[in-house]
Amino acid sequence: MVMHELSTASSIFEVVLEVASRHGAKKIIEVNIDVGELTLLNPDQLSMAFKALSEGTIAEGANLNVNVVKAKARCNRCSEEWYVNLSGVSSAISHLMFMTCPACDARAFLKQGCPKCGETNFDFISGNELIIKSIKIEK
């Protein structure tokens, strides 16, 4: 397991436990999160790390459901919006990217321009998410 997923899972885990205990949870059944493609987090590894962390806690046996949000860009010249293809991004580079600014570095690395006008000045409007959407608990 790589550090990236492990440290992310542990941050998620801490928030989930805190929220659940604030609501008087006896058991955590399910956790739903949105993870943007630009975070380059591996959903399976996230779930595995979460599972390992939850052993012996009220979250033991809970499912971590990861909803992957596609990376979408918007052109700063013509306002065209498109889904960015991240398939060429190697994991070594991806981890470097995440440690700095994923959006800026992805943009520099991808060297893709707007599919409509070729402009390379664009912003990512989705794909950076790391959001806990909902937590299902038992009281």
Reading across the β-sheet that carries 72-75, which strands appear in turn?
A: 81-83, 72-75, 122-126
Rule CB under 5 A: choose which of 26, 95, 116, 133 binds Zn ion: 116
Q: What is the nearest approach in angstroms of Zn ion to the Cβ of residue 88?
A: 21
Spatial separation of the C-alpha atoms in residues 59 and 6, rounded to whole Å: 16
Rule CB under 5 A: choose which of 30, 34, 119, 129 binds Zn ion: 119
Determine the number of helices (DSSP H) and then strands (DSSP E) in the chain. Answer: 4, 6
Rule CB under 5 A: choose which of 30, 80, 105, 129 binds Zn ion: 80
Q: Tell whether residue 72 is a contact of Zn ion (CB under 5 A).
A: no
Element (H, E) at 106: helix 102-110
Residues across the chain: 139
Rule CB under 5 A: choose which of 52, 96, 117, 131 binds Zn ion: 117
The DSSP bridge partners found for residue 11 are: none
Q: What is the nearest approach in angstroms of Zn ion to the Cβ of residue 80?
A: 4
Q: Which residues bind Zn ion (CB under 5 A)?
A: 75, 77-78, 80, 114, 116-117, 119
